Structure 1
Amino acid sequence: MNNKTLSILSYVTIIGWIIAFVKSKDETPKSDLVIYHLKQGFGIFLLTFAVNVILSIVLSIVPSLYFLSFVGYAFLILWIFGIINAANEQKKPIPVIGKMFEDKFDFIN
């Protein structure tokens, strides 16, 4: 697989992320583009998972806050931005939250 495909695959579910991670470890010259999008994809996955767990707890306690469930759509839009950046082979952070993940997850390097 080429770097563009691995970058896009890093956003497509956690299984796609694992495949991209394993394939990128096999490359001899490490691709900065793939590593960057692996970090962004893993970060958005973790953040989405944490927010969904917190929201499900809050909504089970206070059902009148049902409108908070629309936060998932914001993550969907941010996820699409990440895929678009990977498809264009750009190392741009995901809007609003992407800067948090740039220097995290050292195990990906």
Structure 2
Amino acid sequence: MAIVAYITIIGWVISYYNYRNSPDKNPFVQYHLTQSLGVIIFSVVLSVASGILLGIIPSLATLFYIIGLAPLVLMLLGIITASNNAERPVPFIGKLVEGKFNL
């Protein structure tokens, strides 16, 4: 379930409901649910910010396209970490979301 949590918002919702309904709450899955939720929130904020800035400065489209790949990279790093059975934070935003969400 920790790996599925990183696969889009639908995977996160599936993992969350499976975690919530399980009799034994695995702290490993909870950690990766929190990390993936941080990646999802970062992706939405980045998308909104780049949309606004592209409306103002359209010549920076290529730069924002490259920056827009950051959530994909963070998601892949989270999947790799979860598949290695490790609890390492996702780079850049992982430390910010640790302990912030009560899942």
TM-score bucket (shorter structure): over 0.9
Q: What pairs with 1:1-109 in structure 2 (closer than 5 Å)? A: 6-66=1-61, 67-106=63-102, 108=103
Q: Which runs of 5+ in 2 are unaligned?
A: none
Is contact 2:42-2:71 (8 Å) kept? no
Identical positions, percent: 38
Partners of 2:83 and 2:25 lie apart in 1 by 18
Partners of 1:105 and 1:40 lie apart in 2 by 10
TM-score by length of 2: 0.93
Partners of 1:47 and 1:65 lie apart in 2 by 20
TM-score by length of 1: 0.88
Give the residue type in structure 2 aligned to 1:23.
Answer: N
Deviating runs (4+, > 2 A) in structure 1? none
